[in-house]
Amino acid sequence: MIYQQAFDAGVPFERFLASVAENRDMWHAMAARASVSRDVVEQVRGAPGHWRLLVIAEDWCGDAVNILPVVARLAEESGRLDLRIVGREAEPGLMDHHLTNGSRSIPVVILLDEAGVCRGWWGPRPAELQDLFEKEIRPLPKEARYPELRRWYARDGGRAIALEIAELVLCAATRAAGQCTNVRPCRELKAA
């Protein structure tokens, strides 16, 4: 299965962080200060099963630099999530099954169960920010977009990211995905 192959080829967050070239200082600063509230950590700890997070990202992505450190902290503190990161260009088939409005937007967080089966996915931004982006930020000149995104991420402090990733896990663990607002269903992929 392509998900398992991609997960096996992926790198843990620490290795990804050590290899970043673009936005290096920002990546390290965000990783150092990323935090997740105890209540969200406990929600994930309480979910039955052990889960894998397969993230499609690149170091040049401004959203990824704000999101991945929070996801990595949640994985680390919960002890219930194994995290691996793959590049968008390294896994084009996988990326093309997780498009946002037809776009290859990243990061994408794919939840796999213990057998490597995709149980849902999330991305590229928290729902509130994605809505704001579509309505107010996208119409701005390109150079004005990222500062607006950064302001939102700074105000939120990672809370929405952690809550939505926890929802992804809890929905899969309780098999209630149809009732979950921020979880996208997986399309089955076949090995190439």
What's the CATH number where 12 sits?
3.40.30.10
Does 174 map to a domain?
yes
Does 152 map to a domain?
no
* Contact predicate 150/88, CB 8 Å: no
pLDDT at 188: 59
pLDDT at 180: 62
* Contact predicate 145/138, CB 8 Å: yes
Does 143 map to a domain?
no
Q: Which phi and psi angles does 76 have, rounded to 5°?
A: -65, -50
Q: How confident is the model at residue 90 (pLDDT cuts 50, 70, 90)?
A: confident
* pLDDT greater at residue 102 or residue 139: 139
Q: Which domain holds residue 120?
A: 2-125+159-179
Q: Are strands 81-87 and 108-112 parallel, antiparallel or unpaired?
A: unpaired
Does 147 map to a domain?
no
Domain total for the chain? 1
pTM for this prediction = 0.89
Q: Whole-angstrom distance between the N-terminal and C-terminal Cα of the chain?
A: 9
Does 82 map to a domain?
yes
The pLDDT mean for the chain works out to 89
Position 53 pLDDT exceeds 80:
yes
